[in-house]
Structures are given as C-alpha cells and as structure tokens.
Amino acid sequence: MGTEYIFFSGKGGVGKTSMACTQAVRLAEEGKKTLIVTTDLASNLADVFEQSIGHQITPIQGMPNLWAMEIDPDKATHEYIDRAMAPIRAAFPPQIVQVMEEQMSGPCTAEVAAFDRFTDFLEVPTGEETVFDVVIFDTAPTGHTIRLLELPAEWSQSIDAATAGSGQTCLGPAAAIQDAKHKYERALTAMRESDQTTFIFVLHPEAISIKETRRAIGELSKLGIQNFRLIINSIIPPEAAQNELFAARAKMQVQYLAQIDAALPYPKQRMPMLSGEIKGVHRLRQVAKIFFDGSSASKTFKAENVEPQMATLATPLADLRARIQPNGHRRTVFFAGKGGVGKTVASCITAVWLARQGYKTLLLTTDPAAHLGDVLDTPVSNEIASVSGLANLWAVKIDPKAAAETYKERILEDARRRGRPESAIATMEEELNSPCTEEMAAFDKFIEYASQDEFQAVVFDTAPTGHTLRLLELPVDWSKQLDVKIFASVETTAADDVAKQRFGKVIEMMRDPEQSTFAFVMYPEATPILEAWRAARELGTVGIHPGLVVANMVIPLEQANTDFTHARRIMQEKYLLEITERFGLPVAQIPLLPQEIKGLEMLAQLGERIYQGELVTEKVVANLNI
C-alpha cells in the first residue's frame, strides 16, 4: 500500500496543530514512519515538540519513527523564483528580468511557492532515503487552505492561456512552470483519492466554528474531495463544570454538539479541554491516551507547573481610548491576528463603542467568511448600510470575487481609454484573470472606502498583510508590469499616477499613529502571540507599527476558583505578561463569557467594560456573568 495522507484543517485557533501532533505521535508509537509537515505561516510545530525544526525534514527527539518539517514561506519563495527565472535570466535583458522578478514578489508567489513545496510530499518517493508510511499536513487556517487547494485548476488555466498568448503569468514564465502543472494535477488527484487521503476538520462546539467547517467542506467537495472526519475539540470536562462560568459554557456546548451531529454527518471524535498547554512528546503521549484510548483527562494529563505572575497586567483605560478615538481627524483601526482569535468580535465591540460615543463609524471586512453579521446579529451586505438599532454605525462586507471583477473592468477600461493596442489589452485581461487579483482588488475597494471623508472612525476587521502592502509599493508602475508580458517597449511615464497617489495617501495614513491603529488580537496562548509578533514585524518592513493589543477570552480572576480554572488562569497570566513585555503596548482584555458574544446590547456592555471600566448594572452582570 502507498503512503497515506492526512490533512488537519479548520478555523484558526481550534487546536489543529495539537491534534495533528497527537495523531503523529500515536502513528509513530504504532511503528509507522510518519512525517508531519506544516504550511501554516504561523507554524508552532517547534513549540509543540519543544525542539528546532525549520525548513528541512527533522527527526523528532525521543520519538522514533517521527519526523517534522515547517515550510518556510520566504525560503520556499526564493527557491521557487530561482527555479522559475533561471531560463529567463539567460534569454532576456536585465531590465526585463528585473521587472519580472519584482512582479513575482507579491503574495501570490509566496502562496504558489508554499503549495509547490507542499506538493513535493504528495509525490512518491517522498524523500531521497526515507519513504514515509503516513504524511500528516498541519495546514493553515481554513480559508487559506481552500485557496491553496483551488489554485491548481486556476494555475492550469493561467499556464494554458499564457502559453497560447504572451508566455508570462503572475506565477512566473509559463514555459518555466509548464512542467509543474502536471505535478499540481497529480497532487489534486491524490487529495481526491479517499482510500489514500483523509481530511480531518478540527472545530469547537460554537456557531461560527460550525459554520466555517460546513463552508469549508462544501468548498472542498466542489473540488472532488470527499473523505472527511471531525474532531470536536475543547469540550468542557466535568471537573471544569464545577465552576459557574464553565458550567454555563458546557450547557451552551450541549446545544452545539447536537447541531454538529445533525448538520455534519461525518465520522467524529471528541476531545476535552485540558487544564494546560499541550507541549512536548511526553504530554502528547498523554493526550493520545485520552483521545485514542479514552483515558481520564484529569488523571492522565499533567499540566505544566506555572508560577503565578505578580506583575500588574492592567492598562490605563485612557491609553486604550487614545488608540481608538478620533483625534481631531478621522481614526482608522485595523484588527489583525491569527484566524479564529476574535478579530471580528474585537472590531464589532470597538465600532459599537465608538458609535455610542457619537462618532460616525464605518465597520467593514474583507474576510471571505464574513462573520460581521453573525456577531452584530443583523445582516451586513456588499453595500454600505446603517446598522439597525444603533445610530452612527454603518457596516459593509467586501466580496473579494466581486471586487476583482470591478477592479478588472476598471483597469481594462482605463487601458482602452489610453489607446492601448488590442493585443496589449488582451494580455492585460489574461494577466488580470490570474489567481493574484482578488487580494489587490479587495484592498483597492477598502482604499475607496478609506478615502472618503464621510466617517469619523473606520474599523476594519481583517487587516491587510505586509505582503499586500509590499505589492502596492513595488518600484515599477503597474502599467509596466502589465506591458512587460508581451516584452514590448515600456513607457517611461507613470501610467497609473492617480491610482498610485490614492494608494500612497492611504498607506501614509496607515503609517501615521495619530490617524491609524493596528490592533493585534490574540488568545493569551503561545501560537497566537507568535503569529501576531511575526505579522507585526512584517508590517514593520513597510513602516507600519502596531498600536494596541487585544487579549481575548481571558478568564476573569474571580472565576479562577477551582483547580481546573485556576490552572488555566495562571497559564493565561504567564502569556498576558509575555504580551505586555513583547509588544510594549496597551493591552485591552475581552473576558471569557458564559455564552458567545452576539448582538448590539452585549457588544455595547462589553465596550463599556473594556474601554470605560464603568461599574456595570445588575442587568449587565446578569447578561455577562462577570
């Protein structure tokens, strides 16, 4: 029998890596040669296994039969560009080569490169010396994973069209990557083979997590992938339910567990919430006994001993307000962070609070899953509309696919107006049909909204990455990048002055802390902190620095009144201190509540608690249970 492939996927923050590592350890214990590979940009395999791993296959210490690799997106990108450009460097002038290399510096190439490296492991043999019995892919959060899996078909179309036309794609020269097309097709074929490949979705018993899982399975089904399993993670155990907060959350979970059974008819397993972090081979073996053998979690899992933190963790409320309120001119607040950490909740709380302070506020998202409407408990459309029940608040979701069509039409119409020849316009259209256009188009739509003077505050759920901003700052005019596909002589005048000025103005606004705040949202846990730190450093390369940190799902101090909740609160305090020391920024804390955050009333109450610290009324206490 050939190599077995297991993909772990799901919304960010649901425990994919922990469960993937647990599966890997159990398979290795059974004597199967197992490789675990991650394509997650915020990989924490090294943290879970407590050893260095990196961009090469590495044996796991103390665990025979187990190897791991973290695909480094930067290294993978350099390797990919070098391979794709090698024949071009020998055939074309340096000016053309430089333009093409700059064109391949965008986020699309990084995505392609990661997938290209990832498909190497779907080939047989997988390594020069070792053939693995099982390869486990700890994938990136759902939306990104689906994007990677959709790409082979788009690449094939892009390569075919470019081969018939100009010979160039946003993925690199068509001739140079033509051979890769067959590799990608073989990869997708392997993913569709149910006897060989399993997709395991990890989810929490919560509404948004269920919705995201259903959406992702639907998208994968369209690609012909059919073999799904579920792991329902973080189920409140009996020992935790002795506490009133966790007892209320356990009651909420019962309803969602029934919903999962009804709505997701796939084989499923349950995993209880543990009292501490899953780190190290020893604890992974303990988790495997709980998950696979049904051992008691309270008797089997031994949490790490963490010293209580004596340092004060409170941020002056005035410092928080100073980062989100308009200061004589419009303020734009961007919420960024690992998928699933609560960016949408944080952005909704903040937008509702600003609107209640009398600021005319726009709340918008480019998240394809678009959970704004779920949290506000009111529909949000693709057109700016006022939010019913609250003066001063408007909301809109940007559909990346619809934005890409509008963006494409505008670019082509502009080219026709400038009198470009039909051959050049055909080449532009071919280029704009590539997989690279949506991210640019969604950000372009945001620019349109951000350039308006109508709103005093703009709150943006899902901030643009450093990749996106670098793409906008490439030192070659967009018109040149489009023209170069036909290797024609390039106009020296900037054909895109107006558009570049719009982008330039907004990026300068994003760099100005008086006008903009990048707020990173995270759980007080290792992986989200690491992800946020890396993202902050990436934004720093384009001159944008974070101004605020939001710690979500913090167990209120008064609720740390059982052994289980006390152990988790102490663990959180360790990471709250790390957040404070690592970022050196004001930290807003969103408490863990007995139910999901939903509706304007709850958002308003939380806003008052977080940004004003007001003594809450008896009604609020009853609603929030804090």
Report the alpha-carbon distance of residue 444 to residue 367 in Å, rounded. Answer: 14
Q: Do 168 and 100 form a contact (C-beta atoms < 8 A)?
A: yes
Residue 139 known to be catalytic: no
Catalytic residue among 34, 77, 527, 580: 527
CB 304 within 8 A of CB 278: no
Question: What does 197-241 look like in DSSP terms, one character per residue?
Answer: EEEEEEE-SSHHHHHHHHHHHHHHHHTT---EEEEEEEEPPTTTT
- Structural contact between residues 232 and 260, judged by C-beta atoms closer than 8 angstroms: yes
The DSSP secondary structure of 134-182, one letter per residue, reads EEEEEPPPHHHHHHHHHHHHHHHHHHHHHHHTTSEETTEEHHHHHHHHH
| Active-site annotation holder among 9, 10, 11, 16 | 16
Helix, strand, or coil (residue 564): helix
Active site residue 527: yes
Catalytic site includes residue 16: yes
Q: Which of 3, 9, 17, 43 is catalytic?
A: 17
Active site residue 18: yes
Distance CA 597, CA 606 (A): 9
- Give me the catalytic one of 10, 12, 15, 342: 15
Pick the catalytic residue from 10, 12, 13, 339.
13
List, in order, residues 6 or more apart from 84 with CB less than 8 Å away: 104, 171, 172, 173, 176, 177
| The pair of three-digit structure tokens given for residue 296, joined into one six-digit string | 């008691």
Q: Annotated catalytic residue: which of 3, 18, 119, 209?
A: 18
Q: Select from 309, 318, 222, 359 the least CA-distant residue to 569.
A: 309
Among this protein's residues, is 419 annotated catalytic? no
Catalytic (active site) residue 17? yes
CA distances from 225 to 189, 194, 196 (A): 9, 8, 11
Q: Is 38 a catalytic residue?
A: no
Give the Cα-Cα-Cα angle 15, 20, 24 (nearest 5 degrees).
150
From the candidates 3, 34, 38, 40, give the one annotated as an active-site residue: 40
Q: What are phi and psi of 387, to 5 degrees?
A: -90, 120
* Residues with active-site annotation: 13, 15-18, 40, 527
